[in-house]
């Protein structure tokens, strides 16, 4: 009987849940009913995060991996915050350089999310919550805390393997951001590599989440 390898379970569940809650799934029914604001602010991100929170301990137990290996530790240290800020500072110039080279504005997340909706305060609040807070939390749980750590748990943590697994998880991270422009994939891949490195250096998922949130907020709403 075919069995999905443990290191693939979380990202596959992520894709299935994400597609199911997206415009090709239940969002097609509920988003027009509850409005853009309520769907993105309360429904979709909250449901996804609850499902991931339930899945992570189950999958970790299946592969005999302690939750500490995924980067779950109590509290937030000054090192984590400083490292997160440093990684975010590295990520934003990468996007700016790629934009200049390609003459393409990569920061289209907000434009894509708000397509077809009025840019009022409620919709902007929903977009901020989904793009700036919940999206980074979900993606870091899946691609750094999930896929990257599970690959390391399966095949070891030598420097070469960690580098290869960082590349693999960053490629998967870039793939799910289907914006339709090649330069975007490069930016997402490079930022994924930076957050993978941050995850390895700090051993903390929280540092990667903080950095990702800072980057998305600045890229989508401030600069």
Average pLDDT, 10 consecutive residues per value, the chain (223 residues): 62 70 62 62 69 75 74 80 90 73 55 60 74 84 85 86 94 79 82 94 90 85 63
Judge whether 109 and 131 are in contact, CB under 8 Å.
Answer: yes
Q: Is 74 left (phi over 0), alpha (psi -120 to 50) or beta?
A: beta
pLDDT at 44: 67
pLDDT at 82: 92
Query: Tens of pLDDT along 77-88?
Result: 888 899 999 998
CA-wise closest residue to 193 among 143, 150, 132: 143
CA-wise closest residue to 220 among 182, 186, 177: 177
pLDDT at 1: 45
Which tokens in the block code for residue 37?
């604001």
Judge whether 204 and 67 are in contact, CB under 8 Å.
Answer: no
For residues 210 and 82, what is the distance between their CA atoms, to the nearest angstrom? 10
Q: Is 156 left (phi over 0), alpha (psi -120 to 50) or beta?
A: left
pLDDT at 58: 77
């Amino acid at each position: 009987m075919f069995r999905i390898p443990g290191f693939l379970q979380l990202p596959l569940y992520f894709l299935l849940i994400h597609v199911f809650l997206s415009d090709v799934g239940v969002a097609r029914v509920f988003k027009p009913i509850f409005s853009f604001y309520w769907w993105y602010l309360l429904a979709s991100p909250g449901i996804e995060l609850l499902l991931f929170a339930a899945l992570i301990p189950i999958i970790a137990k299946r592969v005999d991996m302690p939750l500490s290996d995924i980067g779950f530790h109590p509290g937030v240290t000054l090192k984590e915050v400083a490292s997160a800020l440093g990684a975010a500072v590295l990520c934003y110039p990468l996007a700016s350089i790629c934009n200049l080279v390609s003459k393409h504005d990569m920061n289209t997340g907000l434009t894509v999310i708000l397509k077809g909706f009025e840019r009022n305060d409620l919709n902007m609040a929903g977009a901020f919550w989904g793009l700036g807070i919940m999206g980074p939390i979900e993606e870091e749980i899946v691609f750094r805390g999930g896929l990257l750590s599970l690959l390391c748990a399966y095949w070891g943590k030598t420097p070469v393997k960690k580098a290869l697994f960082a590349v693999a998880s960053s490629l998967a991270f870039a793939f799910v951001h289907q914006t339709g422009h090649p330069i975007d994939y490069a930016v997402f891949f490079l930022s994924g590599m930076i957050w993978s490195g941050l995850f390895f250096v700090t051993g903390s998922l929280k540092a990667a989440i903080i950095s990702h949130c800072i980057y998305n907020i600045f890229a989508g709403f401030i600069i």
